[in-house]
Amino acid sequence: MASIGAASSVLLLVLAVATADYYVPPPTTYTPPQLYVPKPVTKPTSTYTSPVKTSYLPKPNPDMAIEGLIFCKSGYKTYPIQGATVKVVCPIVDSYGKLVAMVTISSYPTDLKGYFYFITYGLSQKVKNINSCKVKLESSPFSTCKTPTNVNKGVTGAPLSSDNSKFLTRDNVKLYTLEPFYFSNPMAPKPVY
């Protein structure tokens, strides 16, 4: 009898534990789950100030750019040369005015219309007097039109002057525009009689 009493108390205990773990919530209306939206990451505002005071540094002298056209003059025909180049030759003098070196910078080849445009980076800082620089014809890709002419000083050198320049504020560049240069046919030797 003791075993029946023990068995019934175990059954009561199991029944009490089973009913205590089971809970049915009251019926509610269905709400769809909210989508997860991450919060934007915000950087904390910096309140750091440098203890070193920097003075205003002026912008360096603007670089200069050179543009122009190169043509071939063959008889009465004139046509643009694609792939021709010019060079800029500038003397560098010391504080006494003595010639120290000559700087030569070649242009990019001309486009289909014979147009060249190039920026001479840093040349305005190295050369004291830009007006002493000269632009000369350098090369032509055509063997039939390879002889440089001195039209608009293509051989002796066209000077860079303020008369043929303007400042482009959007590029911070002083642009020098030159008159067109010309190559021509090689001169045929004169016949000897």
Maximum C-alpha span of the chain: 156
| Residue 95 forms part of a structural domain | yes
pLDDT of residue 184: 93
Q: What are phi and psi of 146, to 5 degrees?
A: -115, -10
| Residue 172 forms part of a structural domain | yes
- For the stretch 32-67, pLDDT in tens is 667 666 777 666 665 555 555 545 444 444 578 999
C-alpha distance across the termini of the chain, in Å: 156
Pick the closest to residue 62 from 161, 177, 170 (CA basis). 170
Does residue 148 contact residue 84 with C-beta atoms inside 8 Å?
A: no
Pick the closest to residue 72 from 189, 176, 151, 164 (CA basis). 151
Does residue 183 contact residue 81 with C-beta atoms inside 8 Å?
A: yes
Q: What are phi and psi of 80, to 5 degrees?
A: -70, 150
Q: Work out how many domains the chain is built from and give that number.
A: 1
193 residues of the chain, pLDDT tens digit each: 555 554 444 444 444 444 555 666 666 666 666 766 677 766 666 555 555 554 544 444 457 899 999 999 988 899 999 999 999 999 988 888 888 888 899 999 999 999 999 888 878 778 878 888 999 999 999 989 999 999 999 999 999 988 888 988 877 888 999 999 999 987 655 666 6
Does residue 126 contact residue 132 with C-beta atoms inside 8 Å?
A: no
pLDDT of residue 23: 62
pLDDT of residue 30: 64
pLDDT of residue 161: 85
pLDDT of residue 59: 47
CATH code for the domain of 139: 2.60.40
d(CA 90, CA 126): 10
Does the model's pTM come out above 0.85? no
| Residue 79 forms part of a structural domain | yes
Q: How is residue 4 annotated by DSSP? A: H
Q: What angle do CA 119, 123, 127 make, to 5 degrees?
A: 150
The residue segments making up the domain with residue 170 are: 63-183
| Residue 8 forms part of a structural domain | no
| Residue 150 forms part of a structural domain | yes
| Residue 15 forms part of a structural domain | no
Does residue 84 contact residue 140 with C-beta atoms inside 8 Å?
A: yes
